[in-house]
Structure 1
Amino acid sequence: MIWDQAVTSLDNALIIHAIGAPIVFAIVSFVYFKTLNYTSPIVTAFTFVAVVVLMDFFIVSLLINQNFDMFLSPIGTWIPFALIFTSTYLTGTYVRK
């Protein structure tokens, strides 16, 4: 999200992030469920979101921003987390039919 802040406003960057993240994770989970399919959709959704939360916490908050203000923004973190979970779960449910 750093590169898109240089190109557009913070609000636009957050909207792009909220739309793009679930699309990317739907594609990744589609490939995962078509090729590997080791876990159920709910476990995979929790795992994917956990990885994103941990990366946001340790890399973005601690190393890059050096604060936790990003977690105060629903559109910046919580909505994308929910949409990533939902898109992964729904993709897994669809592919496993």
Structure 2
Amino acid sequence: MLTRFFKWLISGRIQKRIWISIGVFVLLVTLLAQSLKWAGRSEWDNWKAKWEAKGEKFDIASVIPPEVPDHQNFAKSQFFAPLFDHDADSPKFNEARDR
């Protein structure tokens, strides 16, 4: 009984139906994914346009804060200056490293 089933399963007619079914399934999943991607993109574009009309900005340059001037930057103070001296053989570098 089982051998008859396997012979039926690997027959050319059934193999053709199985491959067509797999192809149709893959096609439907791909179409669903693309339609969801399109719907999400259009919803994002509508939402973004609405908020840009209100004055919001979505570019990266408007999000990054301006650079801190050297006289206000604590990392550029005289205390840390020897650490940024990239000459590792200098005595000031070794003194700052060993603090």
Provide TM-score, normalisation by structure 2: 0.27
More helix by share: 1
Q: Could you say which structure has the greater relative contact order, defined with CA pairs below 8 angstroms and 6 or more residues apart?
A: 1
